[in-house]
Structure 1
Amino acid sequence: MMSEVIPERVTADVDGDFVVFRIGMRANALWKVHRWLPVFLAMPRMLSELEADPESGLLGYQTDFGVRHVTMTQYWRSFEDLREYARDPDGEHLPAWQRYNQEFGSTDDVGIWHETFLVREDEYEAVYNNMPPYGLGDVAELIPASGREETAAGRLGRSSGEDAAVTESGTVVTDE
């Protein structure tokens, strides 16, 4: 189901620190479906498990599909929550991780990767204009991007927000 477009300029506001975790899979040998499909199918089981447990720490996620790859961006309450889930012997992830290493890790048929970013409170910025909730804006509180929140530097606390390079009418502002 498609979310409603928010017909204004807004920014994401998260209370406290959080984690951005990007994870992906790449089918290096597309014709070897039997090699990459089990890896691909493991993620929906993990997501179902996480969504069923509001205390897991997963705040939300988005998935992007390409011809050879799948990339997921996840937002977590803390690194500890993410790590606890990854190492839970009773969860879906640890057996899938072990299976990948045992069955697929030594071949080049399918690759996996991840990146983890620890984000401190007030050390991020985002803006969405005429968009449905997306990315961080899908898991955070959305507030108007006005006043100090008008510019990237303002959202990061490095200006008053009066340093907009382009006005609402599209006029470019210069220092001259």
Structure 2
Amino acid sequence: MPAEAVQAGHEARPDRESVDLSGYPDLVVVYLGFRVGTWRGLLALVGIGRGIAGIQREMPEGLLVHEHLVFGLNHIGMRQYWRDFESLEAFTRSEPHRTWWRDFGRDRSGTAFWHEAYRLSGGMEAIYVGLPNPIGLARFAGARKPVGPFMSSRQRLAG
């Protein structure tokens, strides 16, 4: 665009870009949320924050990107891009994630948690624990208890 047009108040069109995901055929995107409902939950969030900082410092095998998100004053989250589901699953079964999830199941400390996972190769799944209102996929899709063959993320992705 000519300089005169920019000076006259017309901005140049922004560059448009997309991404080439051909090098990541097994990519998995995970959104995670943590909602604080009590003062005790705020303390739990501080503890989890330390663990998340460690994940960012040490970047587990297969984690490509970790980004923080804010959904509201008492609702934070993150988005993670994983090379493949196997890497994500290996992380969730290792420390510190395994201990955190076990402890959370025993005592939520006034918090709620959710995640949604999307595979480039197909499939989506979600889990919601202790939320006062449906969010994400749960706002339009019917509820289903995560029991039996529907207990793990891998099994939910399979359908």
Give the TM-score taking structure 2 as reference length: 0.58
Which segments of 5 or more consecutive residues in structure 1 lack a partner in the other structure? 1-6, 122-176
1:127 matched residue in structure 2: none
Q: Deviations over 1:51-91 (max 9, x none)?
A: 424x6111002211221201211100011111111011xx2
Change (3 A) 1:49 1:27: closer
2:9 matched residue in structure 1: none
2:69 to 50, 59, 64: 64
Q: Deviations over 1:69-118 (max 9, x none)?
A: 01211100011111111011xx21111111111121xx7x2100011111
Does residue 23 of structure 2 align to residue 22 of structure 1? Answer: no
Change (3 A) 1:75 1:110: same
Check whether the contact 2:27–2:121 (CA below 8 A) recurs between aligned residues.
yes
**Cα shift at 1:41:** 3.0
1:11 matched residue in structure 2: 18
1:95 matched residue in structure 2: 99
Secondary structure, in 3 states, of the residue corresponding to 1:48?
A: helix
Give distance in 2, aligned partners of 1:101 and 1:79.
23
Check whether the contact 1:63–1:72 (CA below 8 A) recurs between aligned residues.
yes
Superposed, 1:108-147 pairs within 5 Å as 109-120=110-121
Tell me which protein shows more helix as a share of its residues.
2
Q: Percent identity?
A: 26
Instruction: Return the letter of the residue paired with 1:18.
Output: L
Check whether the contact 1:46–1:92 (CA below 8 A) recurs between aligned residues.
no
Structure 1 vs Structure 2 CA RMSD: 2.2
Give distance in 2, aligned partners of 1:86 and 1:112.
15
Which segments of 5 or more consecutive residues in structure 2 lack a partner in the other structure? 1-13, 123-159
1:84 matched residue in structure 2: 90
**Of the two structures, which has the highest relative contact order with CA contacts closer than 8 Å and spacing of 6 or more?**
1
Secondary structure, in 3 states, of the residue corresponding to 1:10?
A: coil
- Number of equivalences: 106
Secondary structure, in 3 states, of the residue corresponding to 1:116?
A: strand
Give distance in 1, aligned partners of 2:116 and 2:49.
16
Instruction: Return the letter of the residue paired with 2:98.
Output: L
